[in-house]
């Protein structure tokens, strides 16, 4: 198991209802501190001050998409090496590999189950040295 505890998650999702239920699940079930953002620009603006342990990014967003947001976050000193996980409805294996090649630790498929989302992230976090 890797060192460090997962506590702070920067979460990017533009759909309000999905954002609300995922944030609630991560905070109540996972006991994480979550900073939710609705756009890539907002995530970039909040990232340095929030200092996340992990970034959870939706892929398809209307302006700046998840992969572009990640590449911008990588330019910030505080998030240059912060583990990132994408959430996407695109779950074909070649696409998952492409997301990992962009620097994502893993990919969570949408639709997701809110009751198990926090455990999924904990598993990814705990196994991150093996990936």
Where residue 93 falls (left for φ over 0; alpha for ψ -120 to 50; beta otherwise) is alpha
Q: 96 is written with which tokens?
A: 């998952």
| Class of residue 54 by CB neighbours under 10 A (exposed 0-12, middle 13-18, buried 19+) | buried
89 and 116 Cβ atoms separated by less than 8 Å? no
Closest contact distance (angstroms) between CB of 129 and other proteins is: 30
To other proteins, the closest distance from the beta carbon of 90 in angstroms equals 8
Shortest reach from residue 13's CB to other proteins, in Å: 9
**Measured from the CB atom, is 37 or 47 closer to other proteins?**
37
CB of 106 to other proteins, least distance (A): 17
Q: Which is nearer to other proteins, 28 or 127 (CB)?
A: 28
Return residues touching other proteins (CB under 8 A).
15, 17-18, 20-21, 24-25, 27-29, 60, 62, 89, 110-114
**Closer CB to other proteins, 21 or 98, in the complex:** 21
d(CA 4, CA 82): 12
């Amino acid at each position: 198991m890797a060192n460090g505890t997962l506590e702070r998650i920067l979460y990017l999702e533009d759909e309000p209802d999905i954002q609300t239920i995922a944030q609630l699940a991560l905070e109540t079930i996972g006991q994480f501190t979550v900073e939710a953002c609705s756009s890539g620009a907002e995530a970039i603006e909040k990232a340095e001050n929030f200092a996340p342990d992990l970034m959870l990014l939706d892929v398809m967003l209307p302006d700046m998409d998840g992969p572009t947001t990640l590449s911008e976050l990588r330019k910030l000193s505080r998030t240059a090496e912060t583990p990132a996980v994408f959430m996407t409805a695109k779950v074909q294996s070649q696409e998952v590999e492409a997301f990992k090649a962009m620097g994502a630790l893993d990919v969570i498929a949408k639709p997701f189950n809110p009751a198990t989302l926090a455990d999924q992230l904990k598993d990814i976090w705990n196994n991150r040295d093996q990936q």
